[in-house]
A and B are shown apart, each in its own frame.
Chain A
């Protein structure tokens, strides 16, 4: 019992009085909109008022506890943000490596505390800039990387032992991580000293983001390779960033994001255990997560608190983990791109600010804030500075970082956290019954859930049941023009020239041998990482490495579900 009997009795009396008053008033002054529309952006129904009754069955030690104590509802770190703010980690990449390097240095100078790499589509999909599939795409949504030479330009002047770098890369993750390791070696830094993250989460690609290359089975095998390599050789590196961000952007509800992400995490744990026979505590501390922070303030905070509790339970109950560092769900957050509007773009500054605040109150370890112009283009210097300042302002001015998990104990927040956890477990068990996440993906289950949610939401926006300011309410007839960042089309020609120069100057025989060795390793089932590192050092390109995977493992074909 969370509350003493007397408290509940007196609350019950007061509630009765309040409910009677509400009934009287509502008959004269009806609510502005029906009950069902006072819900979260994900359609979770929210009550008019939360009271002690809503959390009366909670157990303080079991459900809420303390920071750094199971089940970590209040956070993993005992000193909270007083010890260290969340990392200000702005996702960034544009045009060629030199341009991106300049933006990186600018952001570091302006006070960001971690790096995060956005790659362009050819790189994300494992193609070289001169591939016919890459035409028109070079540098448009991120940095173009073909070989180690580009990567060295990208990381020029960046002390890789002093700063951590995240790389949003999935099918070609082994190749890009190999480049990072090689770049560190060239800087004279041992692999034991570098820290960072590769996203490397293929399950969410099949569910949502669709940067696809090989079928699910071999994709998960490559991920296991990186986990094993990291465990043995690069201990400070997070080898997977198990992602919910993209699942949410594809249209999922908050509960779906929560459930599918954590279930993906469980799938990876099971795969590594089965395939690599490692002890769970040898690799689980390095698994990290990546969540979306969407516009419904409280839903997001509760989602993150519920996520920590679910993961802690999964690790102890399902996988019998003994090391508490395995039980901590550490995560990076990005504010929701899909909540931003093209209309009245300056409103986006406000959206990003509230979403960022939610992430901080939710206890994120690392944060990216979107820029106001990202509905139209890559962020301009002007817009990205505002986005960075948003985080710094929250940290230094608002008091949000003064105390740990300030909303704990709130009847509403605890009740919503419990409800989201309950619904998430329902999804998780459903997927368990289907045979796991890979099986569920083959059946199309998460994909169709997301499609249904996306369509429903769009209908709600169309029907003004859900409001987007500037889009379906408070619309202005005047168009607001903001400066747009343009990526010059000629970057593609220049990058191709650079790539061809590298191919000419490298030792072709050595490069080919590395690729042959990689192919043999794939066929034998060996860990590919050491071979990748040799290959990138021999100046093999991203596509050359990925073509080996395509050849050995086959290419994935989209089953096309709606």
Chain B
């Protein structure tokens, strides 16, 4: 019988190497029954979008703690738009001050998860808002 799994990607754009959150999320997503691809640190927007296409993911989670999200997250979503990718949900986390939230939503992110978010609330959000492609 068909096994519809959610395919998700966790990516760290830019030079930030603080990957504790990304690694915890990768395990958490596996435990929630998703198939998760972690790109590792130090990814350019081009590398991330290329991976999104090659892996046919339903969800992309971006993590950045260096403050460079203002440039990097919109750079990723713009590149996806340019390549005609309109069916991947993008969410973000890391060190994102509140005054930047609107900028992120304007860039196309559907949710921002700041420090103090429980893993359960992230999974609940995903299960409610993102469905496997088929």
Contact = CB atoms under 8 A, between A and B. Distances in A.
Q: Do chains A and B touch in the complex (CB under 8 A)?
A: yes
Range of interface residues on A (Cβ < 8 Å): 35 or more
Nearest to A452: B27
B26 A137 contact: no
A461 B119 CA distance: 9
Contacts, number: 112
Interface in B97-134: 97-99, 114-116, 118-120
Contacts of A486: 97, 99
Interface in A99-125: 120-122, 124-125
A377 B17 contact: no
Contacts of A140: 66-68
B116 A210 contact: no
Interface string B63-77: 001111111100100
B14 interface: yes
Contact of B40 (A120, A250, A560): A560
B71 A135 contact: yes
A136 interface: yes
B5 interface: no
B58 interface: no
A484 B96 CA distance: 11
A462 B18 CA distance: 21
Grouping DSSP codes into helix (H, G, I), strand (E, B) and loop, the A interface class, with mixed when no group exceeds half, is: loop
Nearest to A484: B97
Interface string B6-47: 000000001111111001101110000000001011101000
Contacts of B41: 210, 558
B111 to A, nearest CB: 15
Contacts of B114: 342
Contacts of A209: 17-18
A458 B97 CA distance: 22
Contacts of B69: 136
Contacts of B20: 249-251, 338, 454
A204 to B, nearest CB: 12
A121 B15 contact: yes
Contacts of A121: 14-16, 66, 68
B79 interface: no
Contacts of A124: 15
Nearest to B118: A462
Interface string A481-499: 1001011010000000000
Contacts of A560: 38, 40
B61 to A, nearest CB: 15
B16 to A, nearest CB: 6
B116 A127 contact: no
Interface string A459-496: 10110000010111000000001001011010000000
Contacts of B68: 121, 135-137, 140
| 4 shortest interchain CB distances as A-B pairs | A136-B71, A210-B17, A140-B67, A121-B15
Interface of B: 14-20, 23-24, 26-28, 38, 40-42, 44, 65-72, 75, 95, 97-99, 114-116, 118-120
22 contacts: A133-B15, A133-B44, A134-B15, A135-B72, A135-B75, A136-B14, A137-B71, A140-B66, A210-B19, A250-B20, A343-B116, A376-B97, A378-B67, A454-B23, A455-B24, A455-B27, A458-B119, A462-B120, A470-B116, A489-B70, A558-B41, A558-B42
